[in-house]
């Protein structure tokens, strides 16, 4: 169990992690040791199932992970454990030595110019208290729950340099006929975020039929498509592609004040930089290498992945007439060459507020069909920071 002061005081967290790194180094003897620690404090207000009241929960968590690199090995041993105790570190180091070395060993070289300490911290503010969260929830009948939390991550490299990051985030789930998850960086103004999510992003044109050749995706729907297309055409294993749709202009932006993740360094300690992936209808680059090593959890070794995918705002503020508007999209990747888009459409018919349809599409056809961008860019709960997207000529099979 994480001691209370460790989750709210970054200096205390750093002092604890430095001590654990020295213990790990002494135990590992001649091996190179990297230590990654994470702590979080979260408060959550949840509406009871029957709507009669609100339950408030407060949680503190911590965990630690090590990479052990030895001479003559191309990869590192890796292990992770809950807590920040000496016992947790000893177990993690011993386990990393005994397991097959399968984690990447990629880390700044001892000769690289790495500062002894790097700090990437959101301002020091308290997590919203019980009165604030429960009051905000009870005054919004369609809100199911709201959660606010602070996460602190500390990385100490094999040479002893330190990189520390702190992030504040809010998450909320709206209820009603179409539940919607929203999130933002920072605590200020979370009520406005929730209220804005209740307003329609686009005004779809009522119709008794639908033409899947012209589909507009709201930000939430577009975010899942953006993540899938970047993985397919700009991921570490992708190959350079040809032409893209004119609306496909995307970059990876680790350092953004509205980004839910990322920062000035990646999760292996390399400096982070913006990377242009596509623009002006052309493929421009892909992710990979130093600056793109991320961890989904402290229990995962770092691997190449995007941080904050960003697409600039569009010129159009409204949806063209007779365009089908999808407010949700789930990408089912049946193979490298065939995907299925599970789409929830707004105002699909006069009988229902929405209807679900499945569209078979080839990934290359999908990225080529991204014709334009709609409305303002905004961070989504899935991570990508995107506007709405308009796709033309989607081919069903």
- pLDDT range class, residue 351, cuts 50, 70, 90: very low
- Cβ proximity of 364 and 394 under 8 Å: no
Higher per-residue confidence, 104 vs 349: 104
Query: In this model, does residue 209 exceed pLDDT 80?
Result: no
pLDDT, position 71 = 81
Q: Which residue has the tokens 């990876």?
A: 252
Mean pLDDT over 124-141 rounds to 95
Q: What is the pLDDT of residues 275-309, one digit of tens each?
A: 999 998 899 999 999 999 999 999 999 999 999 99
Mean pLDDT over 142-159 rounds to 96
- Which segments within 96-242 are labelled E, that is strand? 117-121, 143-156, 162-174, 180-185, 214-217
Q: What would the two tokens of residue 111 be?
A: 């000769």
- pLDDT range class, residue 194, cuts 50, 70, 90: confident
Higher per-residue confidence, 352 vs 178: 178
DSSP assignment of 57-96 equals: EEEEEEEEEEEEE-TT-SSBEEEEEESSSHHHHHHHHHHH
Of the candidates 165, 217, 272, 195, which has an alpha carbon nearest to the alpha carbon of residue 384? 217
Can you tell me the distance from the alpha carbon of 291 to that of 97, in angstroms, rounded to the nearest whole number?
Answer: 26
- pLDDT range class, residue 395, cuts 50, 70, 90: low
For residue 57, count other CB atoms closer than 10 A to its CB: 12
Higher per-residue confidence, 134 vs 207: 134
For residue 145, count other CB atoms closer than 10 A to its CB: 18
Query: In this model, does residue 131 exceed pLDDT 50?
Result: yes
Alpha carbon 186 to chain centroid, angstroms? 15
pTM: 0.92
pLDDT, position 353 = 56
- pLDDT range class, residue 176, cuts 50, 70, 90: low
- Lowest-confidence range among 14-18, 179-183, 349-353? 349-353
Query: In this model, does residue 6 exceed pLDDT 70?
Result: no
- Cβ proximity of 326 and 263 under 8 Å: no
For residue 158, count other CB atoms closer than 10 A to its CB: 20
pLDDT, position 320 = 75
Distances from the Cα of 267 to the Cα of 113, 165, 270, angstroms: 17, 10, 8
Query: In this model, does residue 100 exceed pLDDT 80?
Result: no
Can you tell me the distance from the alpha carbon of 217 to that of 248, in angstroms, rounded to the nearest whole number?
Answer: 13
Mean pLDDT over 335-349 rounds to 84
pLDDT, position 333 = 96
């Amino acid at each position: 169990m994480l001691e209370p002061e460790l989750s709210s005081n970054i200096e205390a967290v750093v002092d604890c992690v430095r001590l654990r790194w020295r213990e790990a180094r002494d135990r590992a003897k001649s091996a190179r040791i990297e230590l990654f620690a994470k702590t979080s404090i979260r408060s959550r207000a949840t509406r009871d199932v029957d709507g009669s009241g609100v339950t408030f929960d407060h949680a503190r968590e911590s965990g630690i992970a090590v990479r052990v690199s030895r001479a003559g090995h191309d990869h590192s041993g890796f292990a992770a454990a809950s807590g920040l105790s000496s016992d947790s570190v000893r177990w993690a180091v011993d386990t990393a030595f005994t397991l097959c070395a399968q984690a990447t060993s990629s880390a700044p070289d001892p000769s690289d110019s790495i500062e002894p300490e790097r700090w990437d911290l959101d301002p020091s503010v308290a997590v919203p208290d019980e009165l604030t969260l429960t009051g905000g929830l009870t005054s919004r009948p369609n809100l199911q729950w709201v959660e606010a939390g602070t996460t602190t991550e500390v990385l100490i490299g094999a040479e002893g340099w330190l990189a520390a990051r702190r992030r504040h985030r809010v998450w909320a789930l709206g209820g009603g006929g179409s539940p919607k998850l929203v999130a933002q960086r920072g605590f200020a103004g979370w009520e406005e975020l929730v209220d804005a999510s209740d307003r329609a992003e686009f005004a779809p044109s009522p119709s008794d039929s639908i033409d899947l050749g012209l589909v507009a995706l709201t930000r939430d729907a577009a975010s899942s498509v953006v993540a899938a297309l970047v993985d397919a055409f700009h991921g570490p294993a992708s190959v350079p592609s040809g032409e893209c749709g004119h609306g496909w202009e995307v970059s990876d932006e680790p350092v953004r004040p509205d980004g839910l993740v990322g920062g000035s360094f990646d999760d292996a300690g390399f400096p982070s930089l913006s990377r242009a992936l596509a623009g002006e209808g052309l493929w421009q680059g892909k992710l990979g290498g130093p600056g793109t090593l991320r961890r989904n959890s402290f229990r995962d070794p770092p691997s190449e992945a995007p941080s904050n995918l960003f697409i600039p705002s569009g010129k159009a503020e409204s949806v063209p007439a007779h365009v089908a508007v999808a407010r949700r999209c789930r990408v089912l990747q049946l193979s490298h060459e065939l995907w299925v888009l599970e789409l929830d459409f707004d105002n699909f018919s006069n009988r229902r507020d929405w209807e679900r349809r499945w569209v078979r599409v080839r990934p290359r056809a999908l990225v080529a069909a991204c014709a334009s961008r709609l409305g303002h860019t905004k961070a989504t709960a899935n991570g990508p920071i995107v506007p709405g997207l308009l796709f033309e000529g989607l081919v069903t099979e």
